[in-house]
Structure 1
Amino acid sequence: EVISRILERGVHAMQADRATLSSLSDDHVVVEATHGRDGQVTWVGQHYSLDYFAGQPLVQKAIDTMQPTFGGGLASEKAAPEFREAIANVRHVAVIPLVHGGKAIGMLVLSRYQDRPFTSDDLSALTLLGAISGLALRNARLYEEGEAARKRADETAARLRAAVEAAEDVASQVQLDQVLGRLLERAVALVGADGASVARLEGTDMVLESTTSGAAVGTRWPIAPKVLAGVKTGKSVELTAAEYTGAPEGLESIVQPFRRFLVAPLAIGGETIGLLAMGRRKDEPFDPVAVQSLQQLSTLGALLLRNARLIAQAQEAERAKSEFMSVAVHELRAPLTVTGGYLAMALEGGFGELSEPLKGVLQTAQRKTEEAKTLADELLTVARLEGRALKPSAELFLVSDVVHEALVRARPRAELSKGTIKADIADDIEVQADRALVGKILDNLINNALAYSDHPPMVRVTGRRDGDQVAITVVDDGIGISSQDQGRIFGRFARGTDRRVLEKPGTGLGLYLSRGLAEQMGGSLQLESSRPGKGSTFVLRLPVGVP
């Protein structure tokens, strides 16, 4: 618009009939603006080869010398067809080259239809008009370049935001199948594909782990040579249908609908752990900006995929271990039960009278057998807990009842240690949980409180409502837990490092199992406080009972 106004003013100032401004590049000329008394502007935006200058000596001279040139009419027979009629009426022209950085970047052509030639008296005005026009053309170019750069930057930023959002979405998943599904879903949306797959690499083949269609998962495919070359450089590879060859026999129908393919390596630290392949039904190239965004997604996606695979492997190993432990414990309990039975019969005189030394030996064997059975039971519970085979019930019961039952079971042990156990719980507090499992947790907490004390222990159990939960607190005045042990006591097979703890028999599974059981019932178990020599406070939280 600015250039058009300049040309309009120039036509009037130079008493010309038309002014045309064109830009020059290495191989063509573009008509940027034109203004004439007749108002015709049909040439704007059209591109022409620089070869046209060869037939217009006046124009060629101005460009070569980078000086304004005057003369008669232009050679209409050498001009582009759409120019010929207009050029035929021109009697005189002035060609002003627009120079920037020692190079002609455009030209301004003024035409007169009357027999009034341009003279040296017009030179200063023409030079000024050319300078203004050149500045306007330069500014217009810079503006267009800036707008184009801003648009590209906006598009790139939008794509990168989409890639980040996609990566965050994928990162919100942990399970391998969920990560694979989200990765495919986001990749397809990011590049505008119609289908996709993720594969792991095995030599020069790939094995499909997941596809958007759900077909061919687990099948083995050869990797195209062009894709292998791309994998080595870590760059995405685009292929046509003709280049995507080597589909396994019987699986050709999976790739036949697609005309374009994009394969991105999933690499971490220089190691390619998989391939992300996308297909498009239309034979259209993928947008380079989208491919760049896919590169961002695939980089983070590779990390997330590797982590998900490691988690899946760890879960499978944990499942196998739990199954083995369950089988092993079942096999162990049978001979322990038989051994315990025979020892009990012998001690009761079932095999005749026993001497005192022999009776003492058998009593020791009986105690150790019972300890082994307790360990076996705990290991079995661990196996069921970790293998997700433990399904707690959801009973409605009074907290005071289950605590009273636990105190009854613990009282003989308390009497042996000359300890005291008390409870302070209202009779109307109910929880919704597995009564047997809650009893087992309380047994562990109370027995620990009685066992780990260097004086007659004092144990107090209280209960109160705490929002939508019930908090059952077990407080003791025992030896306490050191700060270095407090962070590890809920670990599997974890025991305190205090000498007085290690002197007591124990498996290190009690607190681990208790916390796991509490969480299985929708609750929690925490060490609220503990100080060496001052005792500990544990809090068991369970869902409040809903009638």
Structure 2
Amino acid sequence: MDRLRRRASGAVLDRGTTPARRPACPAAFSERGPGRAGTHPYRDRGHRWPEHQLVALAAVPLIYVGFAPPTWLRRVWRDPEEQQLRAGIRDLLLYSSDRATLANRGLEWGIRLLGADGAALIDAGGEVLAIRGLDADLARQLGGRLDGETHGGLVQLEGQPGGTAAVVQLPLDAGRGTLVIAAGPFTPLFGTDEVARLQEYAANLVLALDRARVSERVANLERSKSQFLSLASHELRSPLAVMGGYLSMLEQGSLGVLKEEGLRAVTVLKARTLEMNMLVDQMLEATRLEDGRLGLKRRRVDLREVVSEAVETVRPLASDRHQLSVELPEDPVTVMADQDRLATIVGNLMENAIKYSPNGGLVTCRLVQDDGRALVRVSDQGVGISAAEQARLFTRFGRVSNRLTMHIRGTGLGLFLSRELARQHGGDLVVESSEPEHGSTFLLTLPLAVAVEQPPAPAPPQAEPEQEVGIPHLRVISKDDEQLDTGLG
């Protein structure tokens, strides 16, 4: 009985032992090899993951980052692109030639900024300035979906599941414009970060577009102004010539003898006609200068003759209270220049000196030579110019306007034209000195002409000495000589 009980209890113990704890053949599952006791195959295998499982686990974060990268990682990836973007914005703001070119270049950078497939730039009036990969009607429709109070946001694309477009308002000078950037099927999803970056970029684009509009307006105004000056100057020349002719006939008495009062009136009318002629000449010269049609006929000119001619031309403008003085050197002052253009420069300086000396006084024109240059100084005792106002003197239509000069007529073309003509001759025109109510001095500098070495005059041909005609010597032969010669023979 005891033997049966021991067998039964052994069987129960055998059945209660789990297979995992009692392997049939430990050596077959042991990684340490057969015949080694104390090894556990499942426990050892649990500490070593298979290689394909490790690769799968490592790919999970990479897949997540690829589809939805964090903001910091996206910024690291696009840092080189950001540098190129800054350079592109600088080019947009500084070097775009016109508004159409600027819009196309700006749209290209917008596409690169978000990695989009299509984009459109719409002006304030609904005009499409630039478009790529989008239909114009669709672009206007997407821009219209944005709330008027919203500066930017995301708009769903119809017919494209999950497709979005980033739309940003452009507060242009002429009104509200729109920048539309549409995502494609293979482009990253747009979010609030992309919209914020697009708004920042759009602010620079607005500045560039408004700058281009202002530049185009200024160019159109300058073109219209030049056309007006050219037309007005040509139309005024003919009647002024007729007026000058009749005034000369009245002064000479060809149309009857005038009384003293009539002659004084004719003198005043001739002076005003001369002012108008000089103004018309300035307008024509300024127009030619801007159009690049101002040619110089250079030749060797004695500057003394130019100064004398210019002073005599403007002498009728001076009143009895003005005293004109001209100081010229004894030796010629030769320059290579266009004589008519130089007369225009000196005439403008003398006219201004007389005009801006309403109370009269001494007006001096002095010509000297110094260190290879010709110097022409024109001084007056008039109203003068302050240092702050001198910057506007040589600009086109730039005039000094204050209580002392507001009643003086002028267009502001004379000094602008004179300086440009002086620089085309290789010289310059500057304000040498000026103080309010103490007069002004303007200095014109021109390079002297290179002295031309005259070849030495050929020496007069020297007369060859006359050769004396040889006279044959006669020899008198005597009788004794004949005998001697015969004996010798």
TM-score by length of 2: 0.60
Report how far residue 327 of structure 1 moved: 2.7
Report how far residue 462 of structure 1 moved: 6.2
- The 1:513/1:296 distance shift into structure 2, 3 A limit, reads same
Structure 2 residue matching 1:419: 3-state secondary structure: strand
**Number of residue-to-residue matches in the alignment:** 386
Q: 1:227 aligns with which of 137, 140, 143?
A: 143
Taking the aligned partners of 1:544 and 1:496, their CA distance within structure 2 comes to: 36
Matched, 1:417 2:417: no
Report how far residue 170 of structure 1 moved: 0.7
Question: What is residue 208 of structure 1 aligned with on the other side?
Answer: 128
- The 1:536/1:309 distance shift into structure 2, 3 A limit, reads same
Match runs of 1:311-322 below 5 Å = 311-322=215-226
CA contact (8 A) 1:465 1:544 kept: no
Matched, 1:376 2:280: yes
CA contact (8 A) 1:406 1:439 kept: yes
Task: Give ranges in structure 2 of 5+ residues lacking alignment.
Answer: 1-38, 58-68, 451-489
Report how far residue 168 of structure 1 moved: 1.1
Question: What is residue 333 of structure 1 aligned with on the other side?
Answer: 237
CA contact (8 A) 2:398 2:412 kept: yes
Report how far residue 223 of structure 1 moved: 5.4
Question: What is residue 53 of structure 2 aligned with on the other side?
Answer: 43
Question: What is residue 184 of structure 1 aligned with on the other side?
Answer: 107
Taking the aligned partners of 1:396 and 1:300, their CA distance within structure 2 comes to: 50
Report how far residue 228 of structure 1 moved: 1.3
Matched, 1:406 2:416: no
Question: What is residue 494 of structure 1 aligned with on the other side?
Answer: 399
Taking the aligned partners of 2:428 and 2:252, their CA distance within structure 1 comes to: 44
Structure 1 residue matching 2:394: 3-state secondary structure: coil
Q: After superposition, give the CA deviation of every residue in 1:335-381 in whole Å (9 maximum; x if it has no partner).
A: 33323322322333332333333333333333323323333333444
Amino acid at match of 2:143: V
- The 1:323/1:165 distance shift into structure 2, 3 A limit, reads same
Taking the aligned partners of 1:340 and 1:435, their CA distance within structure 2 comes to: 23
CA contact (8 A) 1:200 1:208 kept: yes
Matched, 1:294 2:198: yes
- The 1:280/1:544 distance shift into structure 2, 3 A limit, reads farther
Report how far residue 406 of structure 1 moved: 3.3
CA contact (8 A) 1:201 1:273 kept: yes
RMSD over aligned CA atoms reads 5.0
CA contact (8 A) 1:421 1:460 kept: yes
Taking the aligned partners of 2:96 and 2:449, their CA distance within structure 1 comes to: 32
Task: Give ranges in structure 1 of 5+ residues lacking alignment.
Answer: 1-14, 20-33, 48-146, 244-258
Matched, 1:360 2:277: no
CA contact (8 A) 2:362 2:380 kept: no
Q: 2:74 aligns with which of 124, 135, 152?
A: 152
Report how far residue 286 of structure 1 moved: 6.2
Q: 1:391 aligns with which of 254, 269, 293?
A: 293
Q: After superposition, give the CA deviation of every residue in 1:148-183 in whole Å (9 maximum; x if it has no partner).
A: 664334346555444332221111136433433442
Taking the aligned partners of 2:440 and 2:325, their CA distance within structure 1 comes to: 16
Q: 2:387 aligns with which of 471, 483, 488?
A: 483
CA contact (8 A) 1:459 1:477 kept: no
Q: After superposition, give the CA deviation of every residue in 1:214-260 in whole Å (9 maximum; x if it has no partner).
A: xx9xxx857544321236322255665847xxxxxxxxxxxxxxx99
CA contact (8 A) 2:146 2:155 kept: no
Higher alpha-carbon Rg: 2
Question: What is residue 305 of structure 1 aligned with on the other side?
Answer: 209
Q: 1:164 aligns with which of 86, 105, 127?
A: 86
Amino acid at match of 2:414: G
CA contact (8 A) 1:264 1:276 kept: yes
Report how far residue 309 of structure 1 moved: 0.8
Amino acid at match of 2:110: A
Report how far residue 192 of structure 1 moved: 4.3
Give the stretch that moved more between structures: 411-420 or 401-410: 411-420
CA contact (8 A) 1:406 1:443 kept: no
Structure 1 residue matching 2:279: 3-state secondary structure: helix
Taking the aligned partners of 1:286 and 1:159, their CA distance within structure 2 comes to: 18
Taking the aligned partners of 1:438 and 1:185, their CA distance within structure 2 comes to: 53
- The 1:16/1:316 distance shift into structure 2, 3 A limit, reads farther
Amino acid at match of 2:222: E
Question: What is residue 349 of structure 1 aligned with on the other side?
Answer: 253
Structure 2 residue matching 1:371: 3-state secondary structure: helix
Amino acid at match of 2:50: Q
Taking the aligned partners of 2:208 and 2:230, their CA distance within structure 1 comes to: 32
Amino acid at match of 1:304: A
Report how far residue 197 of structure 1 moved: 4.8
Amino acid at match of 2:239: P
Identity %: 26
Question: What is residue 177 of structure 2 aligned with on the other side?
Answer: 274
Amino acid at match of 2:94: S
- The 1:393/1:505 distance shift into structure 2, 3 A limit, reads same
Report how far residue 407 of structure 1 moved: 1.3
Taking the aligned partners of 1:525 and 1:282, their CA distance within structure 2 comes to: 67
Structure 2 residue matching 1:201: 3-state secondary structure: coil
CA contact (8 A) 1:481 1:536 kept: yes
Report how far residue 493 of structure 1 moved: 5.6
Match runs of 1:457-536 below 5 Å = 457-460=363-366, 474=377, 476=379, 478-479=381-382, 480-491=384-395, 492=397, 494-495=399-400, 497=402, 499=404, 506-515=410-419, 525-527=429-431, 529-532=433-436, 536=440
Q: After superposition, give the CA deviation of every residue in 1:495-519 in whole Å (9 maximum; x if it has no partner).
A: 45474x6676654432233345567
Taking the aligned partners of 1:424 and 1:184, their CA distance within structure 2 comes to: 70
- The 1:417/1:169 distance shift into structure 2, 3 A limit, reads same
Amino acid at match of 2:123: R
Q: After superposition, give the CA deviation of every residue in 1:370-414 in whole Å (9 maximum; x if it has no partner).
A: 3233333334444555xx43423366666xx37445313234368
CA contact (8 A) 2:244 2:270 kept: yes
